[in-house]
Structure 1
Amino acid sequence: MDTGTHVVMGIALGGLATISPTIANDPLLSTSVMAATIIGSQAPDFDTVLKLRNNAVYIRNHRGLTHSIPAVLTWPILITAGITIFNPEVNWPIVLLWSFIAVFLHVFVDIFNAYGTQALRPISNKWIALGVINIFDPFIFVSHLVAILLWTVGFAAGPTMLTLYGILILYYGWRIYEKEQIVKLAREQHPDATHVFVSPTIRWYQWHVVIRTPKVMYVTESFRRKFEYFEQYSFDPIPDTKVINAARKDSNLDAFLSFSPSYRWEIEEKDDITEVRFVDLRYRSKGHYPFVAIVQLDQQLEIISSYTGWVFSEEALQKKLNIILQ
């Protein structure tokens, strides 16, 4: 989820904790638990600092190690240790428990995005991405704000937040059902489909869909369970050629391929430069595919520039490549 949603989730969890009389009747403990849930709701995303290095490092590692099983167990210890430094008298086992709940919930809800996490690492490095909730979901964010507002005007925090999470459980169940229906319809229309990639949008009834068959990839969109087809591309596995193999040595392309399950590729000659381009088909927006990986090679197949990330126009992409060349 986005940072704002994780913040309000942390506040809501701090309010939910007051359903326990032990916490509700101890101002120091309730304040410490609130700090723990807010920090815990943000902690797994501290790897956002990887953006300062480059996109390749960020794409390959974001929601990886910091969302793994060891991290879910380590973050609460670090948070609790930090809080007890300032409040040595606090009931640290309770702070540790709510720190763990906050961190676990952060990782758990991220699984429902199309981006996903490596939540089972080190058992498995597979990305778990259920693709039923958009990165920013207005209903989830606003419902948290409403619950927090009710709390501030006098409603009991514990029961209010308990009601909130009951509603959200039903909401998540409905979103899972809707996605299953989209996949079912796609397979009915394409019985030979080997994969159906579904990504949610900010609108409840609108979904990005890529249907892959043994020979063709269809880029489509579902709105109220009706498909609108935009483009189709032949499904061509990555070939074992000198140009492609040289490009795959690049860290940007390597990061892209580690993340994207649905893409097309093309090779283009530009003067003395060979350009290898991979495009993720899941995020079509206004006729453009913004998530790409580009590798440019010289005549000796040496990498001279590359880029991976989000760009929303060809002009912006070429500017980034020119900057790298300079």
Structure 2
Amino acid sequence: MDNVTHALHGLALYALAATDPALAQDPTAMSAVLWAASLGSQAPDFDFVVRLFGGDIAYLKHHRGITHSIPAWLIWPTVLALVLWIFFPGHFGLLWWWSFLGVIVHVGMDLLTTYGTVAFWPLSKRRYGWDILMIVDVVLWAFGALGIYLWWTGVSPERVLWYTILPSAVYLLLRVAVQFYLRSQVRRFYEKTGLKIGRISVIPFLGMFRWNLVVESAEKYELGTAHLRKGVSIKNSYERKGAEQALAVLEQSQVYQVFRWFARHLFLEVKKDETGQMRAEMADLTFGFSDRLPLTAQVTLDAEGKVLEEKLIRKPDKFRKNDKTNKNHDAK
């Protein structure tokens, strides 16, 4: 999630602490909780320093990586508690606990996004992203703003939590139900077309009704939308043209290694010129919309397979000329 949403969750934890009469009557303890919960809710994203020193490719590899993993769930609270203990002596346990809750909520919310996180390392190296929320969700922002307003007007912490956390939970459950339903509709749609498909992703977009869609088959990738009212609509198709012969030589490329690990739906296109020079273009179709693919990369190799250039490209106008399709299905 975005850092504003994480900050709102830190404030929600502070409100939760305020429901404890013993804490609420101790201003020093409440200040300690505020700092611990606020910093804990942001700490896993301190991996932004990787971009400062390693660039975009390193950041793509490490963002939401080890800083969100199981060991980090314990390391971040310990580090934060040791630092804050200087300012709040005698409250180490309190600082550690509320920092820990901030970290756990942060990681849990990131799991609900498409970008996902390596939350369960070292038990699993897989990046988990459950496709429930966009990185920025204005509905959750609205509930957070409501909570701040209620607190400012003097509403009790218990009521603030009741009026914000409960509707937020209902909202999340509704999104889970909608995604589950749309996935079933996508499966039914392809059963009717007769195309044997593999992995599918139903990805959150603006609002509750329309979701983006990526479908893999042996021959191609198809991109489109899944809509509660309008059904399934396939807009673009990317053919899988057998770039497997170039995979071994591409292993020398750092950006390819990162994409192969990171991309859920990796599209790869390789071209050679008359000199034998090879250019590989790749994209993670998971983040595609319309005919735009905002997360792409290029690798250029000479005739001997030496990497001449590799670069990560963000927000290109168009990745490539794709095959337009127009298949629709009424979900009803």
TM-score (norm 1): 0.90
* Equivalent residue in structure 1 for 2:247, among 216, 231, 244: 244
Q: Distance in 1 between matches of 2:316 and 2:298?
A: 14
Find the counterpart in structure 2 of residue 71 from structure 1: 72
Rounded Cα–Cα distance in structure 1 between residues aligned with 2:315 and 2:104: 32
How many pairs were matched up? 312
Is the contact between residue 146 and residue 164 of structure 2 (CA under 8 Å) also seen in structure 1?
A: no
8 Å CA contact 1:279–1:291 kept in 2: the answer is yes
CA distance in 2, matches of 1:193, 1:296: 32
Counterpart contact for 1:55–1:309, Cα < 8 Å: no
Q: Residues 1-326 of structure 1: matches in 2 within 5 Å? A: 1-52=1-52, 53-89=54-90, 91-191=91-191, 192-225=196-229, 226-235=231-240, 238-239=243-244, 241=245, 243-269=246-272, 272=275, 273-313=277-317
The alpha carbon displacement at 1:309 in A equals 4.5
Task: State the partner residue of 1:322.
Answer: none
Q: CA, structure 1 residues 237+60, in 2 after alignment: closer, same or farther (shift >3 Å)?
A: farther
> Matched residues in 1 for 2:97 and 2:119: separation?
19
Question: Is residue 67–residue 119 contact of structure 1 (8 Å, CA) maintained in 2?
Answer: yes
How many angstroms apart in 2 are the aligned matches of 1:167 and 1:71?
30
Spell out, residue by residue over 1:49-70, the C-alpha distance to the aligned partner (whole angstroms, 9 max, x if none).
1112122211111111000011
Q: Which moved more, 1:193-202 or 1:68-77?
A: 193-202
Mapped partners of 2:242, 2:167: distance in 1: 43
CA contact (8 A) 1:113 1:130 kept: yes
Identical-residue share of aligned pairs (%) = 25
Pick which of 220-229 and 39-48 moved more.
220-229
| Aligned equivalents of 2:283, 2:19: Cα separation in 1 | 49
Q: Tell me how far apart the structure 2 counterparts of residues 103 and 164 of structure 1 sit (CA, whole Å).
A: 20
How far 1:288 sits from its partner (Å)? 1.4
Paired residue type of 1:264: F
Q: What is the aligned partner in structure 1 of residue 324 from structure 2?
A: none
Instruction: Give the Cα–Cα distance (whole angstroms) in 2 for the partners of residues 173 and 236 of structure 1.
Output: 40
CA distance in 2, matches of 1:85, 1:244: 53
State the SS of the aligned residue for 1:276.
strand
Give the TM-score normalised by structure 2: 0.89
Deviation track 1:265-323 (CA, whole Å, cap 9, x = no partner) reads 111235754210112222223421111121011222211111125233259xxxxxxxx
Evaluate the alpha carbon distance shift between residue 177 and residue 288 of structure 1 in structure 2; reply closer, same or farther with a 3 A threshold: same
Residues 279 and 298 in structure 2, CA contact (< 8 A), matched pair in contact too: yes
CA contact (8 A) 2:291 2:318 kept: no
With over 3 angstroms needed to count, the CA separation of the structure-2 counterparts of 1:189 and 1:245, relative to structure 1, is same
Question: What is the alpha-carbon root mean square deviation over aligned residues?
Answer: 1.8
| Aligned residues of 2:37 and 2:99 also touching (Cα < 8 A) | yes
Q: Which runs of 5+ in 1 are unaligned?
A: 316-326
The CA distance in 2 between the partners of 1:207 and 1:84, in whole Å, is: 46
Cα distance in structure 2, aligned partners of 1:82 and 1:19:
26
Which residue matches 2:327? none
Amino acid at match of 1:262: H
Separation of aligned partners in 2, 1:118 and 1:162 = 31
SS of the equivalent of 2:140 reads: helix
Structure 1 residue 146: deviation in Å? 1.1
* Amino acid aligned to 1:285: F
SS where residue 194 of structure 1 aligns?
strand
